[in-house]
Amino acid sequence: MAMALGWVAGEFYPLSSFPMYSKFVPRTYVAYLESPEGKPLPTVDTVNMFSSELKKIYGDGLAELKSKQKGSHFDWTPEQRREAGEYALRYLKETHSPKSFDGGGLKGLKLVDIRIFLKDGKITHEETEIATLP
């Protein structure tokens, strides 16, 4: 039934015309929050935000940097990505979840960037701390 509905609607998963379904890129990234001690933190409990939203905010910061940096952010060094990470942490502290930071809470919060890519036919990843709240 679901496939028939898909055919009627013009959607042919997995042969979709929508980019998110029609191809798989050989590299991607995600971001997460980490405590000063290096422990991963749940974004919903920590700053009342889904991790996908955190990635979008960080991605917006990376997009802003494209006018200053050359090439793809996948080729940038952590230092070149730092401004985007600082932007994301500032956004959390000043705009999205200021109460979470009241009284010095979350001092030393870190943003970690994970690059996931296909190399020699295998999926691998690199984790890099990008920014820290003072």
122 strand-pairing partners:
119
Query: Phi/psi class of residue 123: alpha, beta or left (left: φ > 0; alpha: ψ in -120 to 50)?
Result: beta
pLDDT digits (tens, 9 = 90+) for 59-89: 999 999 998 988 999 999 999 999 999 999 9
Residue 13 located in a structural domain: no
Structure tokens at 13: 């998963």
Range of the domain at 93: 25-132
Residue 76 located in a structural domain: yes
Number of domains in the chain: 1
Query: What is the DSSP annotation of 83-102?
Result: HHHHHHHHHIIIII-GGGGG
Confidence of residue 124 (pLDDT cuts 50, 70, 90): very high
Residue 128 located in a structural domain: yes
pLDDT digits (tens, 9 = 90+) for 21-73: 556 778 999 999 999 999 999 999 999 999 999 999 999 999 999 989 889 99
What's the predicted TM-score (pTM) here? 0.79
- 103, pLDDT greater than 70: yes
Residue 95 located in a structural domain: yes
